């Protein structure tokens, strides 16, 4: 991650991501990687990461990836997200999310996030569409 990218990310307000404990590990225009420690308050019964937390992790890094590709003055919003849950992530584990581009257009970006458990097993695949809202 370049110093410029890191500085930009530090100025971005991400209060929900901070509340969840999402840690951006690396961020480049074509790939963003983040981690989320699975703790009790993010779990469902029986102590596995809640699907909403998985979706929030993917949504967060998909938005970060989009922001890294926006033209000056533009903003973004998620307009569609689809999640396939493949394996549970137990309490005490770490979810690692890798987000890569399917399409980076001028008005729409489509990202795929693959979330893996600490043992490397694929836990979820999320496809997300981000609308690019150009400055007026």
Contact status, residue 30 vs residue 38, Cβ threshold 8 Å? no
From CA 34, how far away is CA 108, in angstroms rounded?
Answer: 22
Q: What is the pLDDT of residue 102?
A: 96
The full set of domain ranges for the chain reads 3-133
Of the given ranges (13-17, 66-70, 103-107, 128-132), which has the lowest mean pLDDT? 13-17
Q: What is the pLDDT of residue 1?
A: 60
Q: What is the pLDDT of residue 2?
A: 65
pLDDT, one tens digit per residue, over 52-70 is 999 999 999 999 999 999 9
From CA 15, how far away is CA 29, in angstroms rounded?
Answer: 22
| Confidence bin at 96 (pLDDT 50/70/90) | very high
Query: What is 3-133's CATH number?
Result: 3.10.129.10
Closest CA to 4 of 23, 34, 22, 27: 27
Q: Is the pLDDT of residue 107 over 90?
A: yes
């Amino acid at each position: 991650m370049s110093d410029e990218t890191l500085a930009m990310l530090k100025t971005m307000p991400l209060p929900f991501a901070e509340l969840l404990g999402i840690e951006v590990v690396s961020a480049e225009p074509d790939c963003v990687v983040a981690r989320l420690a699975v703790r009790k308050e993010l779990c469902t019964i029986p102590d596995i990461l809640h699907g909403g937390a998985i979706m929030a992790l993917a949504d967060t890094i998909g938005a970060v990836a989009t922001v890294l590709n926006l033209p000056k003055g533009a903003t973004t919003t998620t307009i569609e997200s689809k999640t396939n849950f493949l394996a549970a992530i137990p309490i005490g584990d770490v979810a690692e999310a890798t987000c890569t581009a399917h399409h980076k257009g001028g008005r729409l970006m489509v990202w795929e996030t693959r979330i893996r458990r600490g043992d490397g097993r694929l836990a979820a695949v999320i496809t997300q569409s981000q609308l690019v809202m150009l400055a007026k």
